[in-house]
Structure 1
Amino acid sequence: MKPIKLALWLLLAALTGVWLLADTFLPSPLSYFSFREVFVQYTGVMAIAVMSVAMLLAVRPVWMERPLHGLDKMYRLHKWLGISALVFAVLHWWWALGTKWMVGWGWLDRPQRRTRGAEVLSDLEHWLRSQRGLAELLGEWTFYAAAVLLILALIKWFPYRWFKQTHKWLAVAYLLLVYHSVVLLEFDYWSQAIAWVVTILMAAGSVSALLVLLGRVGRRRQVKGVIRSLCRYPGVHVIEGCIELEKGWPGHRPGQFAFPARYGWAPVLALPPLSPR
């Protein structure tokens, strides 16, 4: 199995396993609404977690290049994580809002609310509950915007110059979804491992989102070069290029590396550094 496929499935399996330590897909008593409650939590956790990893990959961390076998593979994993986040977000959105719509249409009968008596809430839990309305509203409309941006990123005929400008707005959407996730995460999860795993991922993703918005991605690792040739292969939708680099390229030796092309990925031959002028 390719490293990026292995990384993707291991991540999804690990996140699911940690979530299962805190909750279950078979609540008791099992009903549509009891399952909906846990499934909305599961899909929400998975969506923000994989989106956090995708956001981390967007800043091109050097330490992840070797295990993923190159920057091109890292970006491909970034793309698959984006697709996975979209799938989980759609499931989360439908089970959360679709159920309310089906109750309104008369397709489902709303269960009676459980009487909990007088609850003693901590200050933190009380504040989180007071934020639920705003978090749900922001989450819904941010989902619509993020879904459009993700779909545009997957459409090959969408012009790259527009893609470059619109794709970074996903960082703003991500930060809003972090707020949505923190407020609406099941409060009991905070005493479980899943909340801390997701918190670490969201913290890393938030820092990465800020770097993207501030234009700081790869700023310290830039090396100037001269494009010597470009060759497009329409049959396979890739571009092959040859770049002559100046001194400072952090590669181990002049050789082949990969660079992103709007039509796919292609190996690029890196010539020896330019001679001093």
Structure 2
Amino acid sequence: MRPFGILLILAAILTPLYWYAEWIIGRDGTAMFSQYIASVAIIAMAITQLLATRMRWLEFIFGGLDRIYIIHKWLGILAITSLLIHDTVDAELKGQETFLTDLGETLGELSLYGLLALVVITIVTFIPYNLWRWTHKLMGAFFVFGAIHYILLMKPLAPVLPIGIYMLVFCALGIICYIYTLLPFRGGKSFVVEDIRDLGSALSVTLKPEKRGISHRAGQFAFLKFSLPGFEEVHPFTISQAPKQDETLRFTIKRLGDYTGRIGQAIKVGTKAKVSGAFGHFKRRGKNPEIWIAGGIGITPFLAWLSELEKTDNPIHLFYCVREENDAIHLEELKSKTKLEGFHLHLVVSSKGQRLSGSMIASNVDFLIKNADVYYCGPESLRKAMLHGLKREGLSSRRFHYEEFEIRSGIGIRNIIAWLLARFRTG
């Protein structure tokens, strides 16, 4: 995450304090606090709607899209927490009740309980993706309800004052961004399937542009949607080849769920698709010895890096972790690159009792771990184990580079439940 983007968010949230502090003298402090905390919720939700647009310029402010989704998640949690506090304080403002204020109150309650339910669905990651995806779209609708609630209800400060105008801007921003996210696959370029290869546990799909392709760097991912009935979902996949002159794209898709499992039977050469992107800031520094660690389908960005690698001035060791050797996708392609001086491939097969560790990596490279840059792509559990093990070998955490493998992430709810159950059994 980029500090500049975080500072912008903090500035947006803290700015209303200037006006509320100026007006609190001689007024109901509880009402002012309730209004400020409601302002925090509106601002946080408006920014989450902006981040949900996936506009590419956002990466220059906040960092890669994987980091943007993390900010998006925590802003949503901040918003619902602020709404709950606002509802608990429930500072009553005297004034004449009208139809509009009653409507605002009703919409406020709908917004609160609707957002609360959707946030729970979001952080409980074992809820199926299909259900989460469709319910998540309702977030914007409940934001609209909350914005109307804020506009219609009586407030201690007039809406024509700077604070009122400031908040109306965020209400408008959130609503406009929500409408934008409802557009059908916004900004996508048209492609057609040129080649399909069955890799066993995965599928390699090459697309060629119908007109102009997309601009991307090796290691980036894009959002892909096939123009077929039943495949309306938009999914992110890493582009598993470096940019090519003919602008074709190769996606290597692991058969992990219902959607990815059905793609192989549904698509054919000539099937149309839409691609939006590319996103991500997973790139090599290229100044030090390198250790690449791939877990399963996490091999895809390294395939892209290798496809443009013609020589290396520093040694590169790729550790590829799979359950079975047959699960090692594009293995022949990887082996062909071992002809490059300085590139070394290490296949780690768990079914053979092999387990990757920091000490195992240290024993297979001919340089000090502390002098290397480590690049990781794979499941979060393996990432944490690798970082812990390599730090014991002298690696600084600043030299451990990765992107979030799972864009949809929770807040550790499984661990919380496990802890509560353990306390219950021992209590």
TM-score (norm 2): 0.46
Counterpart for residue 138 of structure 1: 107
Counterpart for residue 15 of structure 1: 13
1:24 to partner: Cα distance: 2.2
| 1:257 paired residue among 211, 220, 234 | 220
Q: Distance in 1 between matches of 2:161 and 2:203?
A: 50
Matched, 1:246 2:208: yes
1:76 to partner: Cα distance: 2.0
Counterpart for residue 109 of structure 1: none
Q: Check 1:182–1:155 CA distance in 2 against 1; reply closer, same or farther (3 A cut).
A: same
Q: Distance in 1 between matches of 2:173 and 2:219?
A: 30
Matched, 1:66 2:35: no
Q: Distance in 2 between matches of 1:178 and 1:38?
A: 18
Q: Distance in 2 between matches of 1:229 and 1:193?
A: 60
In the alignment, residue 78 of structure 1 is paired with which amino acid?
H
1:204 to partner: Cα distance: 1.9
Going by fraction, where is strand more abundant, 1 or 2? 2
Following superposition of structure 1 onto structure 2, how do residues 209-220 of structure 1 map, counting pairs within 5 Å? 209-212=178-181, 215-216=182-183, 218-220=185-187
1:189 to partner: Cα distance: 4.1
Other structure's SS at 1:62 match? coil
What is the aligned-residue identity percentage?
23
1:176 to partner: Cα distance: 1.0
Counterpart for residue 221 of structure 1: 188
Note the residue ranges of structure 2 that are not aligned, 5 or more in a row. Answer: 224-235, 250-269, 271-427
Q: Distance in 2 between matches of 1:88 and 1:177?
A: 12
Deviation by residue 1:29-77 (Cα, 9 ceiling, x = unmatched): 68xxx33201110011110111011111111122212222222222222
In the alignment, residue 149 of structure 2 is paired with which amino acid?
H
Deviation by residue 1:115-148 (Cα, 9 ceiling, x = unmatched): x9xxxxxxxxx8x955212211221132111111
Other structure's SS at 2:78 match? helix
- What root-mean-square deviation, in Å, do the aligned CA atoms of Structure 1 and Structure 2 show? 3.7
Q: Check 1:142–1:268 CA distance in 2 against 1; reply closer, same or farther (3 A cut).
A: same
Matched, 1:56 2:20: no
1:258 to partner: Cα distance: 4.0
Counterpart for residue 94 of structure 1: 88
Counterpart for residue 167 of structure 2: 198
Q: Distance in 1 between matches of 2:83 and 2:72?
A: 16
Contact persistence 2:5–2:61 (CA under 8 A): no
Following superposition of structure 1 onto structure 2, how do residues 107-186 of structure 1 map, counting pairs within 5 Å? 130-184=99-153, 186=155
Q: Distance in 2 between matches of 1:51 and 1:175?
A: 10
Contact persistence 1:26–1:35 (CA under 8 A): no
Contact persistence 1:242–1:270 (CA under 8 A): no
Other structure's SS at 2:19 match? coil
Q: Check 1:69–1:242 CA distance in 2 against 1; reply closer, same or farther (3 A cut).
A: farther
Matched, 1:274 2:248: yes
Counterpart for residue 24 of structure 1: 21
Q: Check 1:222–1:43 CA distance in 2 against 1; reply closer, same or farther (3 A cut).
A: farther
Contact persistence 2:219–2:240 (CA under 8 A): yes
Note the residue ranges of structure 1 that are not aligned, 5 or more in a row. Answer: 101-112, 117-125, 233-239
Q: Distance in 1 between matches of 2:154 and 2:213?
A: 44
Q: Distance in 2 between matches of 1:147 and 1:189?
A: 29
Q: Check 1:185–1:13 CA distance in 2 against 1; reply closer, same or farther (3 A cut).
A: farther
Q: Distance in 2 between matches of 1:51 and 1:36?
A: 23
Q: How many residue pairs are counted as aligned between the two chains?
A: 231
Q: Check 1:268–1:13 CA distance in 2 against 1; reply closer, same or farther (3 A cut).
A: same
Contact persistence 1:47–1:88 (CA under 8 A): yes
1:181 to partner: Cα distance: 0.9
In the alignment, residue 90 of structure 1 is paired with which amino acid?
L
Decide which structure has the larger Cα Rg and report it: 2
Counterpart for residue 291 of structure 2: none
**Greater relative CO (CA pairs within 8 A, separation 6+):** 1
Contact persistence 1:15–1:46 (CA under 8 A): yes
Other structure's SS at 1:219 match? coil
In the alignment, residue 170 of structure 1 is paired with which amino acid?
M
Matched, 1:35 2:10: no
Contact persistence 2:108–2:149 (CA under 8 A): yes
Deviation by residue 1:153-189 (Cα, 9 ceiling, x = unmatched): 1111111011011111112111111110111262634
Contact persistence 2:12–2:43 (CA under 8 A): no
Q: Check 1:139–1:203 CA distance in 2 against 1; reply closer, same or farther (3 A cut).
A: same
